[in-house]
Amino acid sequence: MTTHIEIYGKQLVQLFNELEVATTSSESIWILVFTLILVTGVTMGVSVIVWLERKVSAGVQQRTGPEYAGPLGITQSLADGIKLLLKEGIIPSKGDAWLFTTGPVVVVTPVLVSYLVIPFDQNIVLSDLGIGAFSWVAASSVVPLGLLIAGYASNNKYSFLGGLRAAAQSISYEIPLALCILSASLLSGSLSTVDIVKTQAKYGFFGWNLWRQPTGFIAFFISSLAECERLPFDLPEAEEELVAGYQTEYSGIKFGLSYVGSHSNLLASSLFVTILYLGGWDSPIPFFENLGQFFPFPNYSGESFDVFGPGVGIITTLSKSHLFIFISILTRWTLPRVRIDQLLDLGWKFPLPIASGNLLLTASFELLLIR
């Protein structure tokens, strides 16, 4: 007589067979290579964002910013990273050592996972999931949990308060984010990030969701800033009021990982703004889209292929995303920080009603068009 354990074991084996898990060594090697390229690219993107933020903030405040570490100070971020790697990591004597180490890892890992569904070009995406747009919301919702773990494990009231604020802030602004993504996906008929960009590219520059969903773009912009904990919504780590919040007891590379997670999440959110509202790899200048047709390169079989197309798509996507990052940096140095009650009041009374009304209107128009 078969037991329940044997039945569940057979079902588990059948499930793995249906998922077609990579068993060959070559597939595993390619998976590791692509993962390494992704992590390297995100790390370089974070260093560029840190340098850009320092230079733009210096220009806003009429300063020069970093200029001695390399040309225009471009290696200052690398020097800071090496410094954090060499510094000693201190764990509070009365804190939880295992949770204290796990917190920064939980902050960084979900953000890196969200890059799997980001298309830099039509064929340059690691995983074109059917729910790719919602996977970013699901992954970013885990980040405040890591901040809460870090604050609790520090055995510090200021740190724990910063973690609680991160959890409250995330709950307040994730709902408008999901509603804005639903509105954009309704116009495309799919939650796939690739399909959303393709739908916008059919109609050119004026087919971008920025013109079709202006209120949704505003709500998404505000919610994404709050989700990334950028000023004026950086309540979890407000240095002046909370003594750096959840980072109070951290040092060394653990302290640096929290900033890596914050800046990589900003880069991911800017890429999703580009995908959902700015047409992704679709260039507003037709000349750059047809650049490969003017300079065709033959391959080994004698057929010509477009070598400039993917490059132009990647440059277009990164240019749009860095424009959003530039606006985020200007917002940081323009608006004052809000209080926690103002933050929650704004989240529940402004982006949420706007996103809900926008979703209702979008669904109504789609139903009318179908009929």
Say if residues 330 and 56 touch (Cβ distance below 8 Å): yes
Domain spans of the chain, in order of start: 1-86, 95-370
Average confidence (pLDDT) per 10 residues, the chain, 371 residues: 54 52 62 80 86 88 84 85 86 85 88 87 80 83 86 85 83 88 87 87 83 90 85 70 73 85 88 89 67 52 54 85 89 83 85 90 83 55
Q: Is 298 helix (H, G, I), strand (E, B) or coil?
A: strand
pLDDT at residue 305, as a whole number: 46
User: Distance between CA atoms of 301 and 305, rounded to whole angstroms?
Assistant: 11
Say if residues 249 and 357 touch (Cβ distance below 8 Å): no
Q: Is 121 helix (H, G, I), strand (E, B) or coil?
A: strand
pLDDT at residue 274, as a whole number: 92
pLDDT at residue 304, as a whole number: 44
Pairs from 84-89 (Cβ < 8 Å, separation ≥ 24): 84/252, 84/253, 84/255, 84/256, 85/252, 85/253, 85/256, 87/251, 87/252, 87/253, 88/251, 88/252, 89/251, 89/252, 89/253, 89/254
DSSP one-letter string for 132-180: HHHHHHHHHTTHHHHHHHHHHHTT-HHHHHHHHHHHHHHHHHHHHHHHH
**Residue pointed to by tokens 């200029």:** 67
302 φψ region: left (φ > 0), alpha (ψ -120 to 50), beta (else): left
Sorted by sequence, the CB contacts under 8 Å of residue 36 that are 6+ apart come out as none
